[in-house]
Amino acid sequence: MVQVINFAHRGAAGHCPENTMIAFKRALEFGATGIETDVQMTKDGQLVLIHDETLRRTTGSPEWVKDVTLTELMSKDAGAWFHDDFRGEKIPTLEQLLELVKPLDMIINLELKNGIIRYPGLEGKVIELVRRFALSERVIISSFNHYSLVECKKLAPEIRTGILYMEGLYEPWAYAKRIGADALHAFQYAVVPELVAAASEYGMPYHPFTVNEKAEMQALIQAGVAGIITDYPDRLAELLTAEGG
């Protein structure tokens, strides 16, 4: 059986405040073999890991990520919103995550959050840092902005890309091939066995998101997906251990 990649969505986001170092470290403890996270850029051009374009939900501050410096961002508490036990957790930089995973046998899925805010030069900055850590073979860059993925392929043909999309994309494997992408990062309900089988004929793996219930994980494993993006890497690890994959 091909080993299914256990992507921890924003780290172990079901157990810890998302996109924090404790969430990434806990994911490793839970058996994740991949980390999925979101990359944005501060006012002073620093790459940081946060999903929302504003700081409101995870820090309580109204600012946009693009409007604060890294120093200002680091003054925010990104843990207390989840539980008081995590008070004091910070929004990490991409460099911090790459330092953590560098010595480990892990896949890193970097989602570029450049659909609402078109961060200038984001693709080049991310690629430069990935190359500096010599992690090109272990990184997948994904985005809902497929123009950005095309740009990534122009800058770094050696780094894999994955198209993020919701339901209803017709023959997504053919489209992905056309734009030079390497994987399908589809909303979980857009993934059915016959599509997985068709995509496999094109050598196009599926990595569906965000799958949190064991029954849904089980169905996707049986369908033949190559990876699953989940808030609960511990649940998926248990299933994969039982399956032998």
Active site residues: 9, 51
Beta bridge partners of 49: 39
The span from the first CA to the last CA of the chain, in angstroms, equals 6
Residue carrying the six token digits 């501050």: 61
Question: DSSP H helical segments within the chain, as ranges?
Answer: 21-29, 56-59, 70-74, 94-101, 122-132, 146-155, 172-178, 193-201, 214-223, 233-243
Provide the token pair at 220: 């996707």
Of 93, 183, 172, 204, the C-alpha closest to 139 is 183
Q: What region does 88 belong to: left with phi over 0, alpha with psi -120 to 50, or beta? A: left
